[in-house]
Amino acid sequence: MSKDARIYSIDGGALPAQSDAKSLTNQLDEILGLLHAEFPEAAAITLDFNGKLHVHMDVRKGEDVPLLEERLSLLEEGMFTQVGRGATPGHPFSHRISALIAR
């Protein structure tokens, strides 16, 4: 009886071999590259993981916020969800747009 050396996910599906899968670093770099290309007006773009992956974009002009929120929600077929506004820690004159990354 031969043994199966593949790794399976919780739902029973086989996971891709390590050589087939992109590294986590490469995936995060792709997301950041996409955001920097799409939102050059952002003063800062950061990723945050606290159980779920979030993106935070800081912009200087308050009038840009509604347009950027809309563009972010439509980007990559809904990859960015729960788009909202929040405080920008340490930068009182900036505006923060945050979203959950569902990929």
Give the C-alpha separation, 60 to 18, whole Å.
41
| pLDDT digit string, tens, across residues 43-62 | 999 999 999 999 999 999 99
Q: Within a domain: residue 30?
A: no
What is the pTM for the complete model shown?
Answer: 0.75
Give the mean pLDDT of the chain: 85
Specify the pLDDT at position 22.
79
What is the model's pLDDT at position 21?
Answer: 66
Residue-range definition of the domain harbouring residue 80 = 42-101
Beta sheet of 80-86, edge-to-edge order: 44-49, 53-59, 95-101, 80-86
Structural domains in the chain (count): 1
Sign of the torsion angle spanned by Cα atoms 37, 42, 45, 51: negative
Q: Which of 85, 90, 99 is nearest to 35 (CA)?
A: 99
pLDDT at position 90 is: 82
DSSP 51: S
Assess if residue 96 is contained within a domain.
yes
Classify residue 25: in a domain, yes or no: no
Is pLDDT above 80 for 10?
A: no
C-alpha 8/C-alpha 26 separation (Å) is 22
